[in-house]
């Protein structure tokens, strides 16, 4: 079994088409087919089902994909470990971040890291919590930024920062002069919120429930920045993370009390996996951006 065969297999698993993968990998289709056959012969199992002119992962292929991804990631980590000896002069780091963290601490950390280590390639993926954890476990990510703690036994979580959720309104809103409001006062207030599938929305609904408030949700938008824009240009209010609210000084952000809603961000690592110096350095940049 060779590294190139694993690369062939993983690209074909992604494209489900030999011709496309051959183009992606800059090899001939016959070379790609031969490499795949050799891999299947070594394993003694068919990794794909042939469907007309396309391919689909077999059950064995789907299982092997997890380990092939991890193997290549570990090889890359080893290569990075050697690159570390020369002072982060080559390599890459892949980071996953849930959407509501992507536009606050992550850009600051990414810019600082790239400036300090221009020869390291950075890939930041916007992912929901469940896919982020899956990709960490599959070895596709070096590091994740999501909610702390995680319940997954194969992941380690390190606290990064806590932040309050604030009520925001636009300059024309009747509450624009307020600086604090009790949760119970939100009864009947027209709101724009994240969809119910978001963990932050679940935190908001729990806070409202504890205050005995049935929310009057008029709009749902899957972006905190878009929610703030909706409030900026209309008469709706929203509940958003403090760091995002502070990036929009033209809207009013007020503290919510009784209860105060706080969410906890963390750095996620695959338990027992190698951590390259690049990944550790990027994590340190995140800590600095978060004010730790």
Closest residue by Cα to residue 282 from 143, 97, 84, 136: 143
Those residues with Cβ within 8 angstroms of residue 30's Cβ, 6 or more apart along the chain or in another chain: none
Confidence of residue 103 (pLDDT cuts 50, 70, 90): confident
Confidence of residue 96 (pLDDT cuts 50, 70, 90): very high
Q: Does 193 share its domain with 250?
A: yes
145 occurs within a structural domain = yes
The 8-class DSSP code of residue 274 comes to -
CA distance linking residue 17 with residue 14, whole number of Å: 8
25 occurs within a structural domain = yes
Q: Is 155 left (phi over 0), alpha (psi -120 to 50) or beta?
A: beta
Contact 146, 77 (CB under 8 A): no
Half-sphere exposure for 24 (CA within 13 Å, toward CB): 16
43 occurs within a structural domain = yes
Q: Does 142 share its domain with 278?
A: yes
Q: Does 231 share its domain with 194?
A: yes
Confidence of residue 164 (pLDDT cuts 50, 70, 90): very high
Closest residue by Cα to residue 148 from 134, 163, 126: 163
pLDDT at 119 over 90: no
CATH number for the domain harbouring residue 9: 1.10.10.10
220 occurs within a structural domain = yes
pLDDT at 278 over 90: no
Confidence of residue 87 (pLDDT cuts 50, 70, 90): low
State mean pLDDT over 85-114.
86
CA distance linking residue 264 with residue 250, whole number of Å: 26
Q: Does 144 share its domain with 269?
A: yes
CA distance linking residue 292 with residue 286, whole number of Å: 9
Q: Does 227 share its domain with 197?
A: yes
42 occurs within a structural domain = yes
CATH number for the domain harbouring residue 175: 3.40.190.290
Q: Residue 241: what pLDDT?
A: 96
Q: List the beta bridge partners of residue 143.
A: 95
Regarding pTM above 0.85, the answer is no
93 occurs within a structural domain = yes
66 occurs within a structural domain = no
Contact 280, 203 (CB under 8 A): no
Q: Does 257 share its domain with 167?
A: yes
Q: Residue 86: what pLDDT?
A: 56
67 occurs within a structural domain = no
**Residue holding tokens 């008469």?**
235
Domain residues for the domain of 35 are 3-57
Residue 99, Cβ density class (10 Å: 0-12 exposed, 13-18 middle, ≥19 buried): middle
Q: Does 256 share its domain with 269?
A: no
Q: Does 273 share its domain with 258?
A: no
CATH number for the domain harbouring residue 84: 3.40.190.10
Segment among 64-78, 168-182, 257-271 with least mean pLDDT: 64-78
Q: Does 210 share its domain with 269?
A: no
Q: Say which residue, 29 or 114, is predicted with more confidence.
A: 114
Q: Does 85 share its domain with 171?
A: no
Q: Does 150 share its domain with 183?
A: no
**In total, how many domains does the chain have?**
3
Confidence of residue 76 (pLDDT cuts 50, 70, 90): confident
State mean pLDDT over 206-234.
96
Q: Does 127 share its domain with 47?
A: no
pLDDT at 80 over 60: yes
């Amino acid at each position: 079994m060779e590294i190139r065969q694993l690369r062939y297999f993983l690209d074909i698993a992604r494209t489900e088409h030999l011709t496309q993968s051959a183009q992606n990998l800059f090899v001939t289709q016959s070379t790609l087919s031969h490499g795949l056959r050799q891999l299947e012969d070594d394993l003694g199992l068919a990794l794909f089902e042939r469907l007309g002119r396309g391919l689909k992962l077999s059950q064995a292929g789907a299982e092997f994909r997890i380990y092939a991804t991890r193997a290549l990631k570990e090889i890359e980590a080893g290569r990075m470990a050697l690159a570390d000896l020369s002072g982060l002069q080559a390599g890459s780091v892949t980071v996953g971040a849930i959407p509501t963290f992507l536009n606050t601490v992550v850009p600051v950390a990414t810019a600082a890291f790239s400036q300090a280590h221009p020869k390291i390639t950075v890939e930041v993926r916007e992912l929901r919590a469940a896919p982020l954890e899956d990709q960490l476990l599959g070895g596709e990510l070096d590091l994740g930024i999501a909610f702390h703690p995680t319940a997954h036994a194969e992941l380690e979580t390190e606290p990064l920062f806590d932040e309050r959720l604030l009520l925001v309104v636009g300059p024309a809103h009747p509450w624009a002069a307020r600086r604090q409001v009790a949760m119970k006062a939100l009864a009947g207030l027209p709101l724009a919120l994240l969809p119910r599938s978001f963990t932050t929305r679940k935190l908001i609904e729990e806070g409202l429930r504890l205050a005995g408030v049935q929310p009057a949700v008029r709009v749902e938008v899957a972006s905190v920045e878009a929610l703030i824009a909706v409030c900026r240009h209309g008469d709706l209010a929203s509940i958003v993370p403090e760091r995002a609210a502070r990036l929009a000084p033209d809207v009013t952000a007020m503290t919510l009390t009784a209860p105060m809603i706080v969410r906890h961000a963390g750095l996620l690592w695959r338990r027992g996996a190698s951590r390259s110096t690049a990944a550790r350095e990027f994590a340190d940049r995140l800590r600095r951006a978060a004010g730790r």
